[in-house]
Amino acid sequence: MRTRALLILGSILLLAAPLAWSIPGTPDDAGGDGSAPAPSAQDIAVYRDALALMKRGDDSAGPGAAHEAYAGARAKLQSLLGRSPQFAEAWNALGYTQRQLGANADALASYARALELKPGYPEALEYRGEAFLRLNRLREAKQAYLDLFATNRTIAATLLQSMKAWIGAREAAHQVDAGVTDLKQWVQERSVIATQTAALTRAGTAAGWR
């Protein structure tokens, strides 16, 4: 019964749509501060290949095919980062593959490295929040949302949706404890706040204010 519950939990968490992946050196990477050297064309090509494998994993109907795709992407990214350790986007992508393969502690380390290289990196903050959820580190998952809410409302909403899915999975698996109940109430409150303050944000994907 416990195994079945964990399978339900994992399958629901995987329903969350992945965020868009930026390619360094293109307009998608406009948030970079230029402090790290730009990746070479070869590195970007390997990164693109890894993203293609990750998408194959996301789109796979069976767990075996998904695992193979994510593992292939992870290997490419690890090799790439061995040559280019300043590639923040690659660290974020590596964290994603690690999280999909169940290595959440390794994923947290990769996200931390991405955020060291690119402070405030919203995609890394969101994915790290999801890893915190999987590890039942709910206080840190809440803080990840608050950090995103102050800088990127669209990606913050993605994390809030993942929290709702996580709560739903725990309820479906009859694994509701005080932490889940508290998070559910907190998510409901944050959803109301997000709706009430929506008119104060700028249009677009990244609405920031002081």
Does residue 92 carry a pLDDT above 50?
yes
Does residue 177 carry a pLDDT above 60?
yes
What structural domains does the chain harbor?
39-119 (1.25.40.10), 136-210 (no CATH)
Q: Looking at residues 176-205, what average pLDDT do you find?
A: 83
User: Which pLDDT value is given to residue 20?
Assistant: 63
User: Which pLDDT value is given to residue 36?
Assistant: 63
| Residue 3 banded pLDDT, cuts 50, 70, 90 | very low
The 3-class secondary structure across the chain, one letter per residue, is CHHHHHHHHHHHHCCCCCCCCCCCCCHHHCCCCCCCCCCCHHHHHHHHHHHHHHHHHHHCCCHHHHHHHHHHHHHHHHHHHHHCCCCHHHHHHHHHHHHHCCCHHHHHHHHHHHHHHCCCCHHHHHHHHHHHHHCCCHHHHHHHHHHHHCCCHHHHHHHHHHHHHHHHHHHHCCCCCHHHHHHHHHHHHHHHHHHHCHHHCCCCCCCCCC
Per the prediction, the chain carries an average pLDDT of 84
Check residues 34 and 186 and name the one with the higher pLDDT.
186
